[in-house]
Structure 1
């Protein structure tokens, strides 16, 4: 990470996020306008808002990203696949799905590999990016490593630390562990609790190439102030 980073470069890391359960039209309109103004990579939204946000961003390069089986990951696989396909039909450019966390705690790696393969396949067939949310706060280091190794085999576009709805979010050590084990063709998204510039830059230094945050504007303002010093 360079010592002096401009706002445009940093904003391109951001999945500008609004996933609150009480979101209304005005909240999602504001989210899309902000994402377009700063040049974010994506808006991260609950899947019901996919077509709405796609219309808001019709003339923008900002992607629409739908969260699938969010935030618990406890939907059965057929349901996850249906929700993924429906979100893509409604205009999603990217999919962020939550793994079946209970299966990870039971070390049912075959199930999780099949889950990943099926959802990645749907995304690949539709030329849509796929991100796999581990929810690391519930996992041991060896479980995170095993999931990253499965991702190295299957090949989603990203593996992701957190939903932001668990008891903790992105942790630097987890980002490094994921990066070390996911192989050269899978990227890492850090999300959850990233609310200031120093934390954001630390995640990027650790290997994250996407940052999920609802604090994009605050972080960019911090960068502006720092670069003026």
Structure 2
């Protein structure tokens, strides 16, 4: 399922540098139909633009680490756990995390058990996230909530549980559900968690304007497939800007 692009007005404020924006982007390589050649092409994009990380499918981690395309760069190798539905058992999520870390994954984006949070079992949500955080052995864990399925109260409870469990980020969505990141959710996330927890937007962040507006609201990392388009647009605007 393709999530609609976030529709925001054209950004009129000061423009950050290309490097500043690049280091906000997790270049996403998660679509199920991607071939090894597609993954290789995506890694070259990530290397060229020196993004914060690539986020690859679990089955691709070992090959990405051993392939060496990102060696000598500051681009981290990230992956996902229980993606995209979050329906694995806690033990499975812990095993998957530990296996991927052993293979060289440097960042973990995990999907919560959405139904358990909707049922009000925030203790389960907290404890499951904590177990994954422990298995990640110091690697940043970004907790995906799939906000489109949650009420305001459920969102707040989930974000608080993630912080209590030691998560590094709260994240809006997988990009594979009916809805993705929204300005309202980014603002709520930033208001709910302390400065110790960062906010990641994913799902529909396909333009520079969307990225800059959500960054203004508090998001510091963005899952994106339109990395080159976003950064090329920034470069053109900086070239012609009078601000």
TM-score, normalising length: structure 1? 0.96
* SS in structure 1 at match of 2:77: strand
Matched, 1:94 2:107: yes
Structure 1 counterpart of 2:118, from 96, 100, 105: 105
Matched, 1:64 2:77: yes
Q: CA deviation at 1:184?
A: 2.0
Matched, 1:206 2:217: yes
> What is residue 73 of structure 1 aligned with on the other side?
86
Take 1:105 and 1:121, find their aligned partners in 2: how far apart are those partners? 24
Number of paired residues? 227
* SS in structure 1 at match of 2:135: helix
Take 1:140 and 1:52, find their aligned partners in 2: how far apart are those partners? 39
Q: CA deviation at 1:44?
A: 0.8
> What is residue 6 of structure 2 aligned with on the other side?
none
Matched, 1:227 2:238: yes
Structure 1 counterpart of 2:98, from 85, 95, 107: 85
Matched, 1:4 2:38: no
> What is residue 145 of structure 2 aligned with on the other side?
134
- Which protein, 1 or 2, shows the higher relative CO under an 8 Å CA cutoff with sep ≥ 6? 2
Q: CA deviation at 1:58?
A: 2.6
Matched, 1:188 2:199: yes
Checking the alignment, whether the CA contact within 8 Å between 1:159 and 1:188 is kept in structure 2 is yes
Take 1:62 and 1:171, find their aligned partners in 2: how far apart are those partners? 26
CA RMSD of aligned residues (A): 1.3
Checking the alignment, whether the CA contact within 8 Å between 1:113 and 1:154 is kept in structure 2 is yes
> What is residue 164 of structure 2 aligned with on the other side?
153
TM-score, normalising length: structure 2? 0.90
Checking the alignment, whether the CA contact within 8 Å between 2:27 and 2:55 is kept in structure 1 is yes
Take 1:4 and 1:193, find their aligned partners in 2: how far apart are those partners? 21
Checking the alignment, whether the CA contact within 8 Å between 2:127 and 2:165 is kept in structure 1 is no
Take 2:162 and 2:47, find their aligned partners in 1: how far apart are those partners? 31
Take 2:15 and 2:204, find their aligned partners in 1: how far apart are those partners? 24
Q: CA deviation at 1:152?
A: 2.5
Matched, 1:24 2:43: no
Structure 2 gaps, min length 5: 1-10
* SS in structure 2 at match of 1:208: coil
Matched, 1:42 2:53: yes
Q: CA deviation at 1:176?
A: 0.9
Take 1:222 and 1:201, find their aligned partners in 2: how far apart are those partners? 12
